[in-house]
Chains A and B, each alone.
Chain A
């Protein structure tokens, strides 16, 4: 993994008139152009526009939402908080409030369990020699191919037989199961990139596997763990399929996405509430993403370029 694509930078050509550009400078020049910037801006606007429309819609009165598009808001601004009031359940039964707690109860273990297990497994795959290691590693990653839809009924049958259906356990376990292959793979790649000399030095200092893992690798892995954690958090928070299938214990364990799916009512006649409901539910992922955006980007890059 030592073939990082860094162009050889030669500084010895002293008699050059202009200072030679660094690789970064070259990359910068090549990647930035007014056209590219314009393209990026246009793309960003196009991408954000529907979400913005949704935001505007969520403040419009029911009749306006049904009869005209959100852009008419600017010629005829009518604002109301009624949608949010209904969604948060202050004027009728079944607000999103209770489901929020469920979403947190579901999401936090569903992130911690796979991250913990995957970090340990990745360490073993990366730095411990044992027979059948490569085959096992390929097997773990190959599990990524299995579509989760085909596992739903067999898994639910297992949970029912195990007597845990209707609790949070099926949801936690399912999310962990579905996340593990990718988590192991990603963390393994991060671990592999840590220079072997670092580990050797630690070993010479008398560190065993446990000490190496906790005191050498774990601090180095933080960006990777954070990146994967955020990734998994967003995935679990926004998941509907797993929750629908495994939260079969009623409203006691259903997350906010399930509540949102039911918000429009039996025959979909309350769909004007959906925009407000959507915004209430994305508050958390947006906050998580914004507050930890740096790790997200760094984590994504950390695998490709050695820092």
Chain B
């Protein structure tokens, strides 16, 4: 036994560990300090504090928030709460977690829910309500939602005829990214009907350029961009009523409307003349990440990319996103110029506590005051709040998105896969459409999704 030689080594190892810990710990402390002092918070405008007086004295109380909104979008969120904190003396504790969608259920089931959670899917909201831990929204919130949001939005926050969650942010998915400079050089016009979009694609394809590029790889969620494509076409070809029935499974997934929508998507995404500009053939769509999907527009690899407004964050810092810049987006047109269906998504604020400070904060989030304060602070953010002044948004793409949402002719529909049962919306729908892009035919695809629907 060579115990003697063990001693010093063991000590050295321990010392090393502790030493490294200390060094890193100190380094971390240094960073933290630097951050605090160097932080320059954009001052949010003062707000009318009287609206919170009915909630009583809230000084020193804490409201905890749990959300999937993380860096870099979390900072404007946190900053937008400052006016409320200054008014009421409440501390808002923000916790962002990428695994939010699974963890919030675990926490609700275990009896450890946050005060408020920002839920990005009506389906998840229903699951949370089913745990029995969620509480109904107070009247002040409900009134605000009646005042500032459309009926369709209120319906998405309602479960079993009880109103739980007010909308927070929104995103617009019916957008096609393009290069304004390329359009100008070639005299292309932004299409206003689906037929014009097809003609434009053919025109570009005739110049030996693949007009479209796409990417659907996204880890375990691979395939979701195609579900958005299909929903957009379902909405356009069959109309919003059929779309709602389709989402609620009142018409089968393998019915004629659904197949027609997927075939229409195939007309673009499975058309070798159209895709996949900058990457390769049709199959390369499945291996290109959604973050990279549209990037070839900048290098001229492709001309068009259908993706939501949040895609703006994927461009390089030196790419100018504007109507006269390097890239911009246009509204994915309807069947004719008069109909304006809009596919989108958003988050909803669901509450697990009915303490006055929680209700006060919930109320603040549902006001136009908050929407405008947030608009001034952030990039790449919009809300469906009608009280939002478009001029408070700084980036052109946000203005475009808000304009689309507030258009009185717009018919908004929430992302269908987010409302379908998890077995379909976040499983079969993704997987089958991924197989579809790599060769499976439309019939097998819709049949398989129909089979996966929980009975």
Contacts and interface: CB of A to CB of B under 8 A. Distances in A.
Interface of A: 62-63, 66-67, 88-90, 92-101, 104, 108, 152-153, 156-157, 159-161, 165-166, 219-220, 222-223, 226, 233, 244-245, 248-251, 258, 261-271, 283-284, 287-288, 291-292, 294-295, 307
Contacts of B111: 157, 160-161
Contacts of A268: 218-219, 289, 291
B31 A271 contact: no
A156 B75 CA distance: 29
Contacts of B16: 287-288, 291-292
Give the one of B25, B29, B110, B292 with max A CB within 10 A.
B110
Given A262-B71, A267-B313, A294-B9, A307 B1 contact: yes
Nearest to A166: B112
B46 interface: no
Nearest to B310: A267
Contact of B31 (A88, A249, A262, A267): A88
Contacts of B86: none
B295 A67 contact: yes
9 residue pairs, one from A and one from B, having the closest CB atoms: A97-B28, A156-B110, A97-B31, A250-B95, A292-B13, A291-B16, A160-B112, A157-B110, A262-B70
B68 interface: yes
Q: Which of B98, B107, B289 has the most CB of A within 10 A?
A: B98
Contacts of A99: 28
A90 B34 contact: yes
A111 to B, nearest CB: 10
Nearest to B19: A287
A249 B291 CA distance: 31
Contacts of B68: 266
A295 B292 CA distance: 45
A267 B291 contact: yes
Contacts of B97: 244, 258, 262
B69 interface: yes
A138 B229 CA distance: 56
Contacts of A295: 6, 9-10, 13
16 contacts: A88-B31, A92-B72, A93-B35, A97-B32, A153-B106, A157-B110, A159-B112, A160-B110, A219-B3, A222-B10, A244-B97, A250-B93, A251-B95, A267-B313, A268-B218, A307-B1
Contact of A269 (B3, B25, B313): B313
B314 interface: yes
B35 A165 contact: no
A261 B314 CA distance: 18
Given A93-B75, A156-B107, A265 B70 contact: yes
A260 to B, nearest CB: 10
A92 B70 CA distance: 13
Interface in B289-304: 289, 291-292, 295
B252 interface: no
Contact of B106 (A94, A156, A307): A156
Contacts of B71: 92-94, 262-263, 265-266, 270
A89 B3 CA distance: 44
A248 B6 CA distance: 40
Contacts of B93: 250
A278 B190 CA distance: 43
A104 B3 CA distance: 28
- Chain B contact-residue range equals 35 or more
Contacts of A267: 291, 310, 313
B1 A220 contact: yes
B31 A66 contact: no
Contact of A153 (B73, B98, B110, B219): B110
B310 A244 contact: no
Given A93-B75, A97-B31, A267-B310, A222 B6 contact: yes
Given A250-B95, A262-B70, A264-B98, A291 B13 contact: yes
A62 B13 CA distance: 37
A108 B292 CA distance: 40
B106 A100 contact: no
Interface string B172-185: 00000000000000
Contacts of B7: 222
Nearest to B20: A287
A161 B110 CA distance: 9
B110 A97 contact: no
Nearest to B221: A268
A71 B32 CA distance: 35
B21, B27, B295 — which one has the most chain A CB atoms within 10 A of its CB? Answer: B21
A23 B97 CA distance: 57
Given A160-B110, A266-B70, A287-B20, A89 B10 contact: no
Nearest to B313: A269
B337 interface: no
Contact of B98 (A63, A67, A261): A261
A268 B290 CA distance: 9
B175 to A, nearest CB: 15
Nearest to B107: A248
Interface in B72-98: 72-75, 93-98
B64 A250 contact: yes
Nearest to A92: B72
A307 to B, nearest CB: 6
Contacts of A258: 97
B99 interface: yes
A101 B106 CA distance: 26
Given A95-B35, A100-B25, A104-B21, A269 B110 contact: no
A307 B2 CA distance: 10
A258 B68 CA distance: 13
A173 B370 CA distance: 41
Contacts of B98: 261-262, 264, 266
B394 interface: no
Contacts of B72: 92, 265, 270
Contacts of A93: 35, 39, 71, 75
B295 A66 contact: yes
B40 to A, nearest CB: 11
A100 B10 contact: no
Nearest to B65: A250
Contacts of A153: 106, 109-110
Interface in B108-142: 109-112
A244 B98 CA distance: 10
